[in-house]
Amino acid sequence: MRRSLPRRRLLLGAAGALACASLGTGAFRPLAGAQGLAVRTRAGLALGTTVSLTVAGPEAGAVEAALTEAFGAIRAVEAAASLFRANSALARLNRAGVLERPDPLLLAPLRYALDLAAASGGAFDPTVQPLWTLWAEAAARGERPGAAALREAVARVGWDRVSASEEAIRLKPGTALTLNGVVQGFAADRVMAVLEARGIRDAFVDTGEFGARGAHPDGTPWRLGLADPREPARIAAVIEPFAGFASTSGDYATSFSADHSDHHIFDPATGRSPRGLASVTVTAPSGLAADGLSTAAMVLGEAAGRDLVGRHPGCAVRFVAKA
C-alpha cells in the first residue's frame, strides 16, 4: 500500500515558535545537557524510507545501547515483513504461496491486517499487491491500466484468500500480500517496546510513521507538524502535545497522475484510488493501529472512516479533502 515515501509530517521540537523546528537536534543537545541528559539521534534507511530515532537519558552508554537494539528491532521487522527485501519472509511467501512456521514478526502484523480488513468491510486489504504491480508497471510506460487488466488484478484481491496460523500462512493462487500499510507502524511499536525495556523515558521515533514518549529534552511536550498535502513542505496543522503514535496516508506520497487522482492507495473493490480525500492522519495508542486505520479511512471516506476510527479506543482522526 505504501512504497518509498517523502517525509509526510515534520517533527517539531519544544513548545514555542514554529521556526524553532528548523534548529533540529542541535538545538536541544544543549537543553538536554542542562538537565543532565545525554541525547542521541541515529538515522538510516529501512522499510523503503528514511528512519530516525532520537532518545534522551541520563547515561550516554545506555542511550547508545538502546539505539543499537532499537535499530536491530527495525532490521528484524524488515527481514520478516518488508517487500523492500527480496529475501524477506513476506517476499518468499509471495513467491511460494505458502510459508511454514512463519516468523512471529510477519504473523503479528498480518493478523492485524486481516482483522482490520474484516472490521473495515474490506476497505483495508493486505492482498492489494497485484494492484500496486499493475499500476506501477503501467505508470512506467506512461499509461493507466486498461479495464481488462484492472478486472483481472481485482479478481486476485481479497483478504479471505489468505489463511494464517502459527503452523503456516497460505495464499490462494494468484494472491500476493503487501504489509506496507502497517509495517512502518509495527516497526515503531517494536522500537518503542525496546526503548521502554531499556528504561528510556524520552524518545521520538520516525520509522515512516511517528511515535513519541516522555518529553522533549527541555521538558516541554513533543509536537508534531502535519504537512499540507498540496504543499508538503508547509506545515498545515500541529498536534500538541504529541504522545503515542501517528500516521498519515496521503494521495501525494506516490502519485500515478499529476492531479493526484491516481495514487498508491487503492480501493480493493475497484482497483482504483479513492477520490474524496487528500490525506488522513490517525493518532493511536499503537503504531500498528495508526498506520492501518489511516489507510482504511482514506479508502472509506470521511463519514465511514470516522466511524471506523471511533470504534477503536484512544484513536482520533483528521481529514483533509481534495482541493
- pLDDT of 14 > 50? The answer is no
What letter represents residue 52's amino acid?
A: S
Name every residue whose Cβ is closer than 8 Å to that of residue 135 and which is 6 or more positions away in sequence.
145, 256, 262, 264, 266
Segment among 88-92, 97-101, 253-257, 314-318 with least mean pLDDT: 253-257
Distance (Å, rounded) from C-alpha 173 to C-alpha 166? Answer: 21
| DSSP 3-state percent helix, strand, coil across the chain (nearest 5) | 40, 25, 35
Asked if residue 31 lies in contact with residue 14, where contact means CB atoms within 8 angstroms, the answer is yes
Percent of the chain with pLDDT over 90: 85
C-alpha cell at 150: 484492472
The H-assigned helical ranges of 141-271 are 147-155, 183-197
CA atoms 200, 202, 207, 210: torsion sign: positive
- Taking CA atoms, 306 is separated from 73, 298, 299, in Å, by 32, 10, 11
Question: Which pLDDT belongs to residue 323?
Answer: 79
For range 237-256, the mean pLDDT: 94
pLDDT in tens, 131-159: 999 999 999 999 999 999 999 999 999 99
pLDDT at 33: 57
Kindly report the pTM of this predicted structure.
Answer: 0.91
Reported as a pLDDT band with limits 50, 70 and 90, residue 297 is very high
